Amino acid sequence: MADIALSGIKKAYGKAEVLHGIDIDIKHGEFVVFVGPSGCGKSTLLRLIAGLEPITDGELKIAGKIVNDLTPSQRKIAMVFQSYALYPHMTVYKNMAFGLTLGNKGPLGGLLGGGENKKLIDEKVQKAAKSLQLEEYLDRYPRELSGGQRQRVAIGRAIVRDPNVFLFDEPLSNLDAALRVNTRLEIAKLHQDLDATIIYVTHDQVEAMTLADKIVVVNEGHVAQCGSPLELYHHPANKFVAGFIGSPSMNFLEGKVTATSEQYIEAILDYDGSTVQLPVQSRTTKVGEKITVGIRPEHLQEGVDLPFQLKARVNVVERLGDASYLYLENGADDPLCMKTDGHSTIKSGDTVEFSANLTAVHVFNADGNALTRTTTDDRYTAPTLSS
């Protein structure tokens, strides 16, 4: 079993601290995905877990044991990088077997010791090659392979070491779109077959949403939120996560609180001066405070059937076939985006009315933290305040 626990993990390069106290619990067998903007510290976090760099402060436990001072090979962790880092002068077979024959000399060490047990090594390489459909390429050199095949060799090289934990740093980002989909499915299958814990870094929303049991959103060296893909999608804890998870991004409308009661707040939107009642707890905001209202493009629909209503001029229409995205006039700010079905006849220049359920509307206080919803009932309509 390889539960992993990070508590208060910090990392500084000289005086610059890049990770500011990271707490994450990962259960054995979980597929955990780290996402976040470039430079937020995802790769650094992986390197600390792998043991490729020292941890500045905090505690890293694997299977209940503190491993801060253990070498990478003692941690039984294998890492697969974005640049496959294959040895160009070795065949696929040798690339995969190499780590097993190295002894503990290489950066990730070897597990079996020099020259030991050729038969066992052969069995492991053949088995990994079979599961990754690389059997017919074992005698080739990396330059004779496609990008996807090379990445599979890099994964194979990790598999043969029987690690408890796999770390992947953007393993698919060098592949074209079709190959990404295939290799993504292979990685999902690998996870089912291997009974190993996987920690995976990606920029790709779809990879994160489809592969992860748990997503950790990292922002500027902090954990912004950690939860299942659907938890993050439906209940983002803050504006950062709300804007980061989901594509196209959530729309944000600024506003100001004009009245509060226990079960809902009333706010006036800068967008069109309209007043909206929103079913959220009022404890963490007050009258006069700025709030942000968030609504995803896919939760807006044409017409005024639903209680949260807006009206806007369409600037641009993007037709993707199965769906169209309408980009709506929003003053000087980013345009609002609305997803509509592919048959919609709306064109740029049209003025449309659109609406959403109040339960699909997110509200963030002036600090960017989400206000807790008071109902999950889609039929909910806020009461009108008597003036």
Ligand X SMILES: Nc1ncnc2c1ncn2[C@@H]1O[C@H](COP(=O)(O)OP(=O)(O)OP(=O)(O)O)[C@@H](O)[C@H]1O
Q: Which of 43, 73, 202, 285 binds ligand X (CB under 6 A)?
A: 43
Helix (H, G, I), strand (E, B) or coil at 16: strand
Q: Is the CB of 38 or the CB of 384 nearer to ligand X?
A: 38
Contacts for 354 with CB less than 8 Å, ≥ 6 apart? 300, 301, 302, 303, 304, 309, 310, 311, 312, 338
Q: How far is the CB of 55 from Mg ion (least distance, A)?
A: 17
Contacts for 195 with CB less than 8 Å, ≥ 6 apart? 29
Q: Is the CB of 35 or the CB of 242 nearer to ligand X?
A: 35
Task: Establish if 44 lies at the interface with Mg ion (CB under 5 A).
Answer: no
Partner that binds at residue 18, options ligand X, Mg ion, none, CB closer than 5 to 8 Å by kind: ligand X
Amino acid at 78: A
Partner that binds at residue 87, options Mg ion, ligand X, none, CB closer than 5 to 8 Å by kind: none
CA distance 188 to 192: 7
Q: Which stretch binds Mg ion (CB under 5 A): 38-46, 185-193, 247-255, 272-280?
A: 38-46
Q: How far is the CB of 169 from Mg ion (least distance, A)?
A: 6
Q: Are the C-beta atoms of residues 161 and 133 closer than 8 Å to each other?
A: no
CA distance 256 to 259: 9
Contacts for 173 with CB less than 8 Å, ≥ 6 apart? 82, 202, 203, 204
Task: Establish if 43 lies at the interface with Mg ion (CB under 5 A).
Answer: yes
Partner that binds at residue 293, options Mg ion, ligand X, none, CB closer than 5 to 8 Å by kind: none
Partner that binds at residue 38, options Mg ion, ligand X, none, CB closer than 5 to 8 Å by kind: ligand X
Q: Which of 1, 12, 39, 342 binds ligand X (CB under 6 A)?
A: 39
Q: Is the CB of 38 or the CB of 384 nearer to Mg ion?
A: 38
CA distance 289 to 266: 11
- Both tokens of residue 231? 């938890």
Q: Which of 22, 26, 42, 72 binds ligand X (CB under 6 A)?
A: 42
Identify the CA nearest to 183 among candidates 282, 38, 82.
Answer: 82
Chain-centroid distance of CA 109 in Å reads 29
Q: How far is the CB of 222 from Mg ion (least distance, A)?
A: 16
Expressed in percent and rounded to 5, the helix, strand and coil fractions of the chain are: 25, 35, 40
Q: Which of 13, 74, 113, 272 binds ligand X (CB under 6 A)?
A: 13
Q: How far is the CB of 136 from ligand X (least distance, A)?
A: 34
Q: Is the CB of 43 or the CB of 285 nearer to Mg ion?
A: 43
Site for ligand X in 86-125 (CB under 6 A): none
Location of structure tokens 């076939």? 321
Chain-centroid distance of CA 176 in Å reads 19
Q: How far is the CB of 96 from ligand X (least distance, A)?
A: 26
Q: Which of 9, 31, 41, 159 binds ligand X (CB under 6 A)?
A: 41
Partner that binds at residue 342, options ligand X, Mg ion, none, CB closer than 5 to 8 Å by kind: none
What count of residues does the chain have?
Answer: 387
Q: Is the CB of 43 or the CB of 277 nearer to Mg ion?
A: 43
